[in-house]
Chains A and B, each alone.
Chain A
Amino acid sequence: MSTNILTVDDLRIATTTGMPVLDGISLRVCRGEVLALIGASGSGKTTLALAALGHLRPGLRATGGSVRLDGVEMLTAPQPVLNRMRGRVASYIAQSAAAAFNPRMRLGDQVVESALLHRSQSAVQARARAQDLFGYLSLPNPDRIGTRFPYQVSGGQLQRFMIAMGLQEEPLLMVCDEPTSALDVTTQVEVMRLLKQAILDNDTAALFVSHDLAVVAQIATRIAVMCAGAIVEIGDTEQIINAPREDYTRELIAACQHLSLGALAQRPARLPASADATLSVKGVVAGYGKVSNGKPSIATLHGVDLEVRKREIVAVIGESGSGKTTLARVIAGLHAPASGAVTMSGETLAGLDAQRTAAQRRRIQLAVQMADTALNPKHRLRRILGRVLAFFHGIKGAAAEARMLELLAMVSLPPHYLDRYPTEISGGEKQRINLARALAAEPEILICDEITSALDTIVAGQIIALVKRLRDELGLTIIFISHDLATVASIADRVTVLRHGRVVEAGESAEVLSAPKDPYTRLLVASVPELRQGWLEDAAAMRATLATELETSRPGAA
């Protein structure tokens, strides 16, 4: 292919304080080619993708090299030139569609906005093109859906509007920054399929940023593996996946395979769990608004049962809106159920933690998804951990110091971290501290609410390994809440699948995940990306049959 669309030559970008972020990157993207940039967070992949659009985030500057898009030097181009190029020559598809759209403007107007600003299409042409794209991207009622506001469509639909926006002016290059990472698995398959088709049909080139190798394998023609601001390995998708040359690439692939349904087979036998339930949840109904007759006006849980035995890891899986986080909050005492009961070792727990005893509160600890908001940024880690020790156990001074060092060792962090603030450690390390704080209480039951969702594959794998080790060493009972089946497969002994606040299937994880009975569970399982080319097409075909089965088997389910 001779038509080079994007040429990056020895690109160097550093922070204004002189720390290198990109260190001599060179690559080319031709027409009809999808180049994936893959790497852990902090590897510089987003910085590189944005540089292709001539954008550097505040605090960064280019220190050398060139980025030429369709013959224009993007690093030195004046603002008016960049404005003309963006949307028309290169478009951008962001990770969070919800944050990218103006909530006060109709979607149709936002999709055609740049075409009208550029005067590249007349208003009539632009609207016609947008309608075609809505139909092409399988949005319902393409001729009318453009009049809706962003909050009136679902997350998956919003992401499709963003793709439509990216395609509106038929750009030469689409820069996609983790376009499906924020979506549920079942939605992700559909968006991935449409995005791939759109790239192929329009014969555009694309830069595809992702941390998920399995997703990348479906869409990319070539893959560049990045680490610490440099390209470790670049090659055809086939070669990278099947015959990686570098150790780092192999590590990525191993992490990806570890977190896949295939991991079920290789799991060692688990510790024998005792037969009696440590925690049991019976017929819990919870939600928001006024409660009448034991039913809240908006219910998110409709009579959920859950049994957890000692030293067991039970996973609760569900997509956004399934009520899994509400369930976690009910167990932790942060959300009072309208009816139903939570019992721990035979004691019935009060709905709100204020009415529970200190011992009951200590025995159940919660670790949450966003480590950023879970740790007070104004407290040093010493204070964060020390407070829990003093509060529950009255340990102070040298004894507390010694215990904190033990806790740090337990989560594999060095002792000098005690003097750091949460803003001075990485996302994975924050999650470790999050767990250490829960452990400081010496709980029996640990609830992990999506603790790996915000982490990249390698780090998530390390956290999963840590949780498993904690169970083995400390005999903890763990409730692991997640939307990610692959993660769950690698850790859980038993699985409960939630959908719209109801349990659709529960049982041994090996059984549920390898031979799911409920059509919804089958759909979930079929939607987990696998690290092989051609999976996407198989999954899309399988989805179609499962979706009809789901419709017919559950009349009345929304």
Chain B
Amino acid sequence: MTGASTSLRLSPTLAFSTVVLTMFALIALVSLVALPQDPFDFITDEPLMPPAVGMWLGSDYLGRDVLSRLMDGTRITLFMALTATLLAHLIGDTLGLLAATRGGFVDTVLSRIVDIVLALPKIIVGLVVVAALGSSVWVIIGIASVVYAAGVFRIARALGNDLKEMDYIKLARSRGEGMGWILFGEMLPHVVRPLATDFAIRASFAILFMSSLSFVGLGVQPPMADWGGMARENLGGLSTNPLAAVAPALAIALVSIALNLLVDALDGDARH
């Protein structure tokens, strides 16, 4: 074995994505400690003011500091997206591998449920659930994790189907091993890499999904700041302070692109 450390070469895409993602992670951390201004305070009387000294991205439609809200929103958006993706993987991976290994009735029931979830448009599901339960950070995380668990399930099940034909799995079963060992002891080491790739790409989808929910007004509720919500709030001010809407949109685009490039770099690396 030549080891993973030597095989991971620093390509330009990998460098770009790492720098961007590290930067946003740092912003999220810094926002916990200190922000340039209070993100909820009406700093100026002039709404949608262009950038000025002390307010580097200008003010939003209520006169709050856009930069501070963007930084605060980074933490909220990334926390929600990553938590939702993590939950989606915990549910999807376990059930997917279980369905592959068990087969039969368990597989049929789980697969049909997943078909149904995948057949429903995500945003509509979000609208209905939020209408029924009201909107909170955890409701939105819950919706996103269930919706994305279905896609994860499909991938984990396909990986599991390949693995279960391996003699070492069959021998483990003939020994009488329980599901816990077969899924997490025998199978998991083989599927970590493809699932990690999936995690990165799905996290970018989750950011987009949650931003879309916020954009139509069903996501994180004011006065909390998240990227999608900020883009919607300040849409009317595109002519006076375009940055108030464009900066959060740009942040969404940057993180999504960086995550996709990271996946490409990791995936291309795995193929060598």
Spell out A's residues near B (CB within 8 Å). Answer: 332-334, 353-354, 356, 358, 361, 366, 368, 370, 373-376, 378-379, 387-388, 391-392, 421, 423-424, 437, 441
Contact = CB atoms under 8 A, between A and B. Distances in A.
23 contacts: A334-B170, A334-B174, A353-B176, A354-B176, A358-B176, A361-B176, A368-B171, A373-B168, A374-B167, A374-B168, A374-B171, A376-B166, A376-B168, A376-B189, A378-B190, A379-B186, A388-B175, A391-B176, A392-B175, A421-B1, A423-B1, A437-B171, A441-B175
Contacts of A375: 168
B9 interface: no
Contacts of B185: 387
A366 B171 contact: yes
Interface of B: 1, 166-168, 170-171, 173-177, 181, 185-186, 189-190
A350 to B, nearest CB: 12
A356 B176 CA distance: 9
Given A373-B166, A437-B171, 4 more contacts: A354-B176, A361-B174, A366-B174, A374-B167
Contacts of A392: 175
A387 B168 CA distance: 12
Given A379-B189, A423-B1, A424-B1, A373 B176 contact: no
B179 to A, nearest CB: 12
B174 A333 contact: yes
A379 B168 CA distance: 11
A541 B29 CA distance: 84
Contacts of A333: 174
Nearest to A388: B175
Nearest to A367: B171
Given A332-B174, A366-B171, A376 B1 contact: no
A353 B173 contact: yes
List the 3 closest A-B pairs by CB distance, nearest first. Answer: A378-B189, A374-B167, A373-B167
B175 A391 contact: yes
B169 to A, nearest CB: 8
B192 to A, nearest CB: 9
B52 to A, nearest CB: 57
A375 B186 CA distance: 10
Nearest to B188: A378
B168 A361 contact: no
A215 to B, nearest CB: 28
A378 B169 CA distance: 12
Contacts of B189: 376, 378-379
Contacts of B181: 387
Contacts, number: 47
A284 B167 CA distance: 23
Nearest to A368: B167
Contacts of B174: 332-334, 353, 361, 366
B182 to A, nearest CB: 11
A332 B170 CA distance: 11
Contacts of A388: 175
A379 B182 CA distance: 13
Nearest to A364: B174
B254 to A, nearest CB: 35
A374 B185 CA distance: 15
B167 A370 contact: yes
Contacts of B1: 421, 423-424
B232 to A, nearest CB: 47
A59 to B, nearest CB: 12
B272 to A, nearest CB: 11
Nearest to B192: A378
A388 B190 CA distance: 20
Contacts of B168: 373-376
B113 to A, nearest CB: 25
Nearest to B173: A353
A227 to B, nearest CB: 27
A217 B259 CA distance: 61
Contacts of B177: 391
Contact of B175 (A361, A378, A423): A361
A423 B190 CA distance: 14
A41 to B, nearest CB: 20
B167, B173, B186 — which one has the most chain A CB atoms within 10 A of its CB? B167
Contacts of A374: 167-168, 171
A144 to B, nearest CB: 36
Nearest to A354: B176
A440 B249 CA distance: 61
A423 B2 CA distance: 12
Contacts of A334: 170, 173-174
A298 B174 CA distance: 24
A376 B168 CA distance: 6
A366, A376, A391 — which one has the most chain B CB atoms within 10 A of its CB? A376
Contacts of B167: 368, 370, 373-374
A324 B62 CA distance: 80
Nearest to B165: A373
Contacts of B175: 353, 361, 388, 391-392, 441
Contacts of A387: 181, 185
Contacts of B190: 378
B256 to A, nearest CB: 32
B68 to A, nearest CB: 47
A353 B168 CA distance: 15
Nearest to B190: A378
B82 to A, nearest CB: 26
Nearest to B177: A391
A368 B171 CA distance: 9
A284 B22 CA distance: 64
A311 B64 CA distance: 87
A332 B173 CA distance: 11
A349 to B, nearest CB: 12
A209 B105 CA distance: 49
A391 B190 CA distance: 22
Contacts of B186: 376, 379
A163 to B, nearest CB: 32
Contacts of A373: 166-168
A322 to B, nearest CB: 20
Nearest to B168: A376
